[in-house]
Structure 1
Amino acid sequence: MAYRITEECLACGTCLESCPNEAIIEGETYRIDPDKCENCGTCIEACPTGAIIEE
């Protein structure tokens, strides 16, 4: 299972702070590094806008 950050992302940093593997990459829009992501789901639970989805 892979996760993706959608256009609903506000770049608030909540997911960035919650990721135990530092798999969230900052930028104009945030993205998830699939090589670091262990699919724990912490970012999904932390996101206040529901911008992180499973693919």
Structure 2
Amino acid sequence: MTEGLKVLKSDKRAIFTAANQASKAYLYITDLAESNQSEQKAVKKRLETVLFIVQSAYNSNG
């Protein structure tokens, strides 16, 4: 039997503690993933803006 199973068997509250910690980890990971998506969208928007400016300058000089 693994150490984790021994703890769960001996301490009836351990499953709730483990579930609470797993829930916190899940929220942390999903928040991190969402912030990365937002950051990627912001970078993409800035790059699109720079590309637009460069194209506009090129077209006005061409």
Please identify which structure carries the higher strand content.
1
Please identify which structure carries the higher helix content.
2
Per the normalisation by structure 2, the TM-score is: 0.20
Per the normalisation by structure 1, the TM-score is: 0.21
Larger radius of gyration: 2
Higher relative contact order (CA 8 A, sep 6+): 1
